A and B are shown apart, each in its own frame.
Chain A
């Protein structure tokens, strides 16, 4: 086998195993049910999408950064912490694969799982299409944004997962980081801190936030800068994971 096909087949082997792991554990089904219940609750009860009389899913996607705040770290928390707890990390990393292949393979599996959960929200799309004439291009665009947003949180969660062998610790750290990524650009918060610090600092901090970058997708604007923003969080998260694992093995 040549280099590239080995690279891809190693990643795919890992991804397959991880996906198998998700779907054989009851936690995965609990997660999907929770996710669907909560999206439904936020969309129909709190977002009161039916009373608004608009044929759009703006209020469905509005809550995604908050929903993902708890749910995505819950997917990612075990990715490396479990390997460390069970000792299987030693088995995995003495196989003829690179650490990077293992990291990417595991991340892709978790992302596919998240994508599957997101896909299962399709009844809400059918509902608005039944009730009115929404712009399905906008909806698709928002789904892409939501998927990228979830991927970013997931990369951060896999990073915190590599830091510890305790899943709960991993969950808490990644929730805190993701919360920062929301609040840094959340209008009520930015309006508040504007009173104390210069506008330029508010803007710099806010530029780290996922909220303004997700906003574009929600409105149906597919901006390359926003895509690059989310992809760079993912690359950063996975790169940090590889550094953490390298340090772990070196035993510092």
Chain B
């Protein structure tokens, strides 16, 4: 692989927009991805994730804006850009009539690999994606997991510095999901990776940064922890106490100066479980410490006490919910 200018981000998406008729599928999206970054691309269905990825990989031309990958502009130099990108399209398409091996061989050839080099590349990805058992099987006879991994293998066959993966774990079972996630994370150390997903825990486990996109616009951009902190629940304290009525605990907790309010999550016969909301400008941990001291003083039988880091799904819902109901399906 050629050396790329280390000072510039590997992928620069500049004010990218795409209209389908009157509908603005992607509306002025800009972001950068550097080598060593794994960018999670989140958003409700139809938010413009796939359209953005298709523009980055040069499948569809943007209406406005452009993408620069490895210093090459997709509008002026599409072939150069395509050379350094590996792409897993949505639904992992592959030629059904080919065997896994001949399909990978075909892609390697299109990627300009020949002879010994090609052989090596093909057997490397077969090993990496655990395809040994199905190499000679025709793709239309494969299970969804194998088909998915075959298409994934295709995307990394030329060891590209940039990977664009559209829902790489879609349709896989939990073990396979875990494998793919681990693979992405490992490869992310030396590559610039963008992947889209619906699964929020995936973002937390594999991404160094996440972007949430809604109706064609970026609505959040940050590390998973930064995003989580946007949650209303971030910084609240969960307290579980046995053998004391929940109302009584709430009463006591509310008397603390650093507590804004407290609410009961559940009692149902078991321990009293409540969520304590901090006052503004309370530093991390202070609330939990105060509640803990109170519990000792009151001699409560505490079963659980922890500070909630916030939940991505809650942040996700808050930013994207308002009017996705009118979303047009494409």
Contact = CB atoms under 8 A, between A and B. Distances in A.
B59 A86 contact: no
B59 to A, nearest CB: 5
Interface string B22-41: 00000000000000000000
A97 interface: yes
A252 B61 CA distance: 11
B59 A95 contact: no
B60 A13 contact: no
Given A1-B112, A96-B112, A86 B87 contact: no
Contacts of A17: 95, 98, 106
Q: How large is the interface on A (under 10, 10 to 19, 20 to 34, 35 or more residues)?
A: 20 to 34
Contacts of B109: 9, 13
B172 interface: no
A126 interface: no
Nearest to A25: B97
Q: Is the interface of A mostly helix, strand, loop or mixed?
A: helix
Interface in B91-107: 91, 93-98, 102, 106-107
A87 B93 CA distance: 5
A187 interface: no
Contacts, number: 74
B215 interface: no
A250 B60 contact: yes
Contacts of A95: 82, 107, 110-111
Contacts of B59: 90, 93-94, 249
B117 to A, nearest CB: 13
B154 interface: yes
Interface string A85-109: 0111011011111100000000000
A137 interface: no
A94 B20 contact: no
The 8 closest A-B pairs by CB, nearest first: A87-B93, A96-B82, A90-B89, A96-B83, A95-B110, A94-B57, A13-B109, A88-B93
